Amino acid sequence: QEILTDPSYTGQIVTMTYPLIGNYGINTEDVESKGLFLKGFIVKELCEFPSNYRSTESLDSYLKRNHIVGLQGIDTRSLVRQIRTQGAMKGLLSTVDLDDASLLQKVQQAPGLVGRDLVQEVMPKENCSWDISLSELGRPADFVSGAERANGPHVVAIDYGMKWNIPRYLRDVGCRVTIVPGTATAKEILALNPDGVFLSNGPGDPEPLTYAIETIRGLLGKKPIFGICLGLQLLGLAFGGKTYKLRFGHRGANQPVLNRRTGKVEITSQNHGFAVDSASLPDDVEVTHINLNDQTAEGIRHTKFPAFGVQYHPEAAAGPHDSHYLFSEFLQMMMV
């Protein structure tokens, strides 16, 4: 359900490798956005009779209600092996046109993710405040909530397609949160008098988002900045670096990442198809985290300005809790 409602999957067909999906149904609490933005959902076998005390409807009903095409009955692990061999590729699901030649032509003509601005399809249209903190089920056992703090630091979160668990976490560490559209300018953000700025996750290629890169450059050195996923990529571009499309995107909740500052290995939850080119970063930008599977950059930090980011999702719930400290680091950065 969190995958289905994550705006980062905009325009994509998602396949699951676990053989039986939908066992616990759909509930009203685990949504990560206002809707579903993916184009299709593929499973080996769909559970038709979910069983969970929070379940309000089946996965099949949920997909139909949101007009998302679903497909079951294929060998999803074989499909994933094909993607692992050939790299991420275009796909098409059809219940109308069943002609192979016609479908192949449509796939070839369909736009890919590179060079497209998908953020404006999913971002909010106006500012709003956020006052919802983590639920008891989503809060780690050792996590002490600061959500009741009335005068905590004010964070402006730039929403490029943000998962809702991120502002929940910001609330839980004691921040007051204002969400602004991904097209907000530096002047508009500074007018809100934030103590810090958060750059959210989001879909697609960061390079076409020139308006976002310009905004971040206008904030550097003026306010502490923390970016996650797409936010990290945009931060890297604002620093003067470059990004590129990964042949194999990083997906799943068990990606090993080395924190080069502490020497510790963190198990992380990831969902991204683009990455920052470490070699392109200027000398005043430090690569703080690397992926141990392919040695790509997973975290960067400016050595002169209070600005840092990670490529993975420290707010994942359910998911690994190894990286929750990043929210506390951001909080401390704003309180200096």
Mean pLDDT score across all residues of the chain = 92
Active site residue 315: yes
Cα distance between the two ends of the chain:
38
Stretch 204-218: mean pLDDT: 97
pTM confidence score: 0.91
CATH architecture of 119-334: 3-Layer(aba) Sandwich (3.40)
Q: Which residue has the tokens 């699901």?
A: 93
pLDDT-wise least confident of 83-87, 128-132, 139-143, 256-260: 139-143
Measured at the CA of 134, the angle between CA 164 and CA 23, to 5 degrees, comes to 75
* Cβ-based neighbours of 139, under 8 Å, separated by 6 or more: 145, 172, 317
pLDDT (0 to 100) of residue 247: 85
Residues 214-229 have pLDDT tens digits of 999 999 999 999 999 9
* Residue among 229, 266, 289, 298 flagged as catalytic: 229
> Amino acid letter at 148?
E
Active site residue 29: no
* Residue among 272, 289, 302, 313 flagged as catalytic: 313
DSSP 44-69: SEE-SS---TT--B-HHHHHHHTT-E
The percentage of the chain sitting over the pLDDT mark of 90, rounded to a whole number, equals: 76
pLDDT at 147 over 60: no
Is residue 76 within 8 Å of 82, Cβ to Cβ? no
Stretch 282-296: mean pLDDT: 96
Residues of the chain with CATH 3.40.50.880: 119-334
pLDDT at 251 over 70: yes
pLDDT at 148 over 80: no
Residues of the chain with CATH 3.50.30.20: 7-109
DSSP 127-193: -EEE-----TTTS-TTPPP-TT-TTPPEEEEEESS--THHHHHHHHTT-EEEEEETT--HHHHHTT-
Stretch 295-302: mean pLDDT: 97
Cα–Cα distance measured from residue 330 to residue 94, given in angstroms and rounded to the nearest whole number: 45
* Residue among 32, 207, 298, 315 flagged as catalytic: 315
Residue 98 backbone zone (phi > 0: left; psi -120 to 50: alpha; other: beta): alpha
pLDDT-wise least confident of 158-162, 169-173, 211-215: 169-173
Beta-bridge mates of residue 14: 41
CATH of domain 7-109: 3.50.30.20
pLDDT (0 to 100) of residue 139: 63
Cα–Cα distance measured from residue 198 to residue 307, given in angstroms and rounded to the nearest whole number: 10
